[in-house]
Structure 1
């Protein structure tokens, strides 16, 4: 069920939705790029359709809406514990097909992995997703290879052309806002090819751990963790206790994003640590994204958004690494 509206009409609908929802979409943050004279596109709250950036890829994904960078779990004093107040509003999130597939991975990890994460569920249960189409592939995207370039699991689809907005509505609550509009046929734009293609070898196994291909990353990677923070499917976190007073009897516990690529991630009691070598960390990440996860869930963790390639200061390409797995398997097979 589709509709054609002018921008004023869609902004009126946004205003109506804002009574119960916060609306998040990729938007431009002036002066917040890597350098003082550069900008950044990332997720933020929007009020009208013109704030949304449709023709560029957000440098960070929508996961920071559902999994905040720093999230307070509870407050404590010497003799009491209190949870934060629940969100007063739900969320409406604009995102692309690859990122909607990434939400599915987050749901697997936090809701279907043996037990439900209470804090994630509390944010997740009142969220609606509005799909943004992709007429053309962006730089470093390889979503077609990963099978995430298309989806029908959205509540609504929205596209802006000239001064008009075209929407396809699938969710019943949203349909009520469009009752007075004439229905037309609206279909999402999905890319069918990328400039970057990857191929995961069918014979990929844990034998790849013996390959020398990982040695390259020991010298190139600087363990900054930016690839993990930009990735829409990386969900690891660490815990922090913040104390308000010198006596340490009042404060809050937070969970904060963590990265398997940074120093200290595998630290254990007694001073023990694993994967000190950066090549080993890269190996762990790659195998988790394109091997381990599929064995459990039936599809790869990586969704091919290419943000890790976009953001790496050392120009390490995750997609290139995937394509080296074939030669790596041949190498270890020849050594046996």
Structure 2
């Protein structure tokens, strides 16, 4: 059982909730696209439903809310260390089903991978997720084949229907504020088919590493890392120590955790000039097998959620879904 109320009433509730939570959702940033006359849809803070773009897939994912692009971990001097304060407010994040599944992958890496990441956990525990339904599939999505097109692990579901809104879920801070509502049956909109299809071969093994299929990416990939930065499940980061100039004490500064990419030059550099995965084909191989092979071996399901953002963002038109579909021929080549 769910509820129907007016969007005006729900907007008033969101304004009230904004005192306790920062509210994030896909919104249109006018004139901030790739070209001066284009817009961009990405996550930002909102105060009303009218600011949320329910119709277009965001070009960037929600993950910078849980793992900021650059996050100060602690401050230091020669004598002491102080842990950086976390966000004072909680967060409410509007996400689609694929991104909700991506949150589960993030939890695996930061909370269930042999340790609990303190900085991730303190943000995650104060975050609520509101599901946005998908009435139709976007061109590059392949969530159905990845099994991420449906989800029931959300705090609330909201659908805008003209001047009214449908609400479901157990987000107490939202539900208890509802007034003069109509009780209705609410079922989230989930897609059941995609235009883009992928097939991960059942016989996929590490033998695929020796296939020649990876060679083409030496020429096509430019190692920009954009695919990693828009991906809702990529978690690689590097550390930066920033020293303050002009401070009274020497060696005063802060340590930051900053997003990194397994596709860019220098990511695997080690002391002594050693480097792993020196060419771009090897990096593509590493990324693909991590998304659809070794992660599943560890956690029981694929890391990739089929959102298609990597296909959308690549300046060289490299299709990750097409790469997945080449794995069958790659295995035939190796076994042939």
Q: Which residue of structure 2 lines up, in the alignment, with residue 282 of structure 1? A: 284
Deviation at 1:180, TM superposition (A): 4.4
Cα shift readout 1:123-172 (whole Å, capped 9, x = no counterpart): 00011100000000012000000000000000111111111111112233
Q: Which residue of structure 2 lines up, in the alignment, with residue 317 of structure 1? A: 319
Q: Distance in 1 between matches of 2:89 and 2:317?
A: 40
Q: Which residue of structure 1 lines up, in the alignment, with residue 232 of structure 2? A: 232
The TM-score normalised by the length of structure 2 is 0.97
Q: Which residue of structure 2 lines up, in the alignment, with residue 86 of structure 1? A: 86
What are structure 1's unaligned runs of at least 5 residues?
Answer: none
Deviation at 1:251, TM superposition (A): 1.2
Deviation at 1:246, TM superposition (A): 5.5
SS in 2 for 1:261: coil
What are structure 2's unaligned runs of at least 5 residues?
Answer: none
Counterpart pick for 1:291 among 276, 290, 293: 293
SS in 2 for 1:64: helix
Q: Which residue of structure 2 lines up, in the alignment, with residue 271 of structure 1? A: 273
User: Deviation above 4 Å: which 4+ runs of structure 1?
Assistant: none
Cα shift readout 1:218-241 (whole Å, capped 9, x = no counterpart): 110000000000000000000001
Q: Which residue of structure 2 lines up, in the alignment, with residue 140 of structure 1? A: 140
Q: Which residue of structure 1 lines up, in the alignment, with residue 22 of structure 2? A: 22
Q: Which residue of structure 1 lines up, in the alignment, with residue 11 of structure 2? A: 11
Q: Which residue of structure 1 lines up, in the alignment, with residue 97 of structure 2? A: 97
Q: Distance in 1 between matches of 2:212 and 2:180?
A: 64
Q: Distance in 1 between matches of 2:86 and 2:98?
A: 29
Q: Distance in 2 between matches of 1:5 and 1:178?
A: 8
Using the TM superposition, name which of 104-113 and 239-248 deviates more: 239-248
C-alpha RMSD of the superposition? 1.1
Question: Residues 156-175 of structure 1 correspond to what in structure 2 (within 5 A)?
Answer: 156-175=156-175
Alignment size in residue pairs? 334
Q: Which residue of structure 2 lines up, in the alignment, with residue 149 of structure 1? A: 149
The TM-score normalised by the length of structure 1 is 0.97
Using the TM superposition, name which of 33-42 and 247-256 deviates more: 247-256
Q: Which residue of structure 2 lines up, in the alignment, with residue 49 of structure 1? A: 49
SS in 2 for 1:178: coil
